[in-house]
Structure 1
């Protein structure tokens, strides 16, 4: 349960925050940005703090880390797999490693603070 909840929330949060924005913005000088804006990624991260806190505060650090990582990695793979260049695999790998490292750090801090009774 501590792995399933973060995984489902991570996938749903990806769809809610990032899944609908698929176009790149063309700037007046011809450069392109996107498809995501900073506020979308920040919203995703803040949303994911809820299930990570839920699992880590119950000392289910592995569930928080693995669930969030699997959910984000699966969502990124699904969202980006239509890229014909194949470079989406690099991006998915970056999502996987980044979410694994950051979720592990945040979960460890939450678990340690909850162990101290705070």
Structure 2
């Protein structure tokens, strides 16, 4: 079954824009680091923010993977998260943000690939056998 080109393009664009919007909603507003009484510095993000981002992005990836849109789910989501990280961190004067952006790209590529594999396995086992194919 082939999709119409415009519909496919809009779907890929949506799969890329959801992570950008999720990044802005969960991480984009928090730009300050926390200095603790012992002098250590953490942040700018808290664990709950990153978990929220991951869960938010996982929903459209699962949806796309369950409809056999693996490349779009993996590549568009990875591109969206990588773009968001690069845009958010590009004001770092040390230039080390490039390493962080690379790690976001690698991590999102691995994470979305793994989620697609799980979604495919789960949805494949839940679909009923077609009448022309006997059940195993």
TM-score interval w.r.t. the shorter chain? over 0.9
Equivalent residue, structure 2, for 1:101: 110
Equivalent residue, structure 1, for 2:62: 53
- Considering Cα pairs closer than 8 Å and 6+ residues apart, tell me whether 1 or 2 has the greater RCO: 1
**Larger C-alpha radius of gyration, 1 or 2?**
2
- What aligned pairs does 1:10-89 form with structure 2 within 5 A after superposition? 10-89=19-98
Runs (5+) with no aligned partner, structure 1:
none
Q: Please state how far the C-alpha of 1:3 moved relative to its aligned partner.
A: 2.6
Q: Please state how far the C-alpha of 1:17 moved relative to its aligned partner.
A: 0.2
Tell me how many residue pairs correspond in the alignment.
118
**Local SS of the residue matching 1:107:** helix
Runs of 4+ in 1 over 6 A off after TM superposition: none
Contact 1:23 1:34 in 2 (8 A): yes
Within the candidate set 4, 11, 14, 1:5 is matched to 14
Q: 1:61-100: per-residue Cα shift (whole Å, max 9, x none)?
A: 1110001100000000000001010000000000000000
Runs (5+) with no aligned partner, structure 2:
1-7, 128-136
**Counterparts of 1:96 and 1:34, CA distance in 2:** 20
Q: Please state how far the C-alpha of 1:116 moved relative to its aligned partner.
A: 2.2
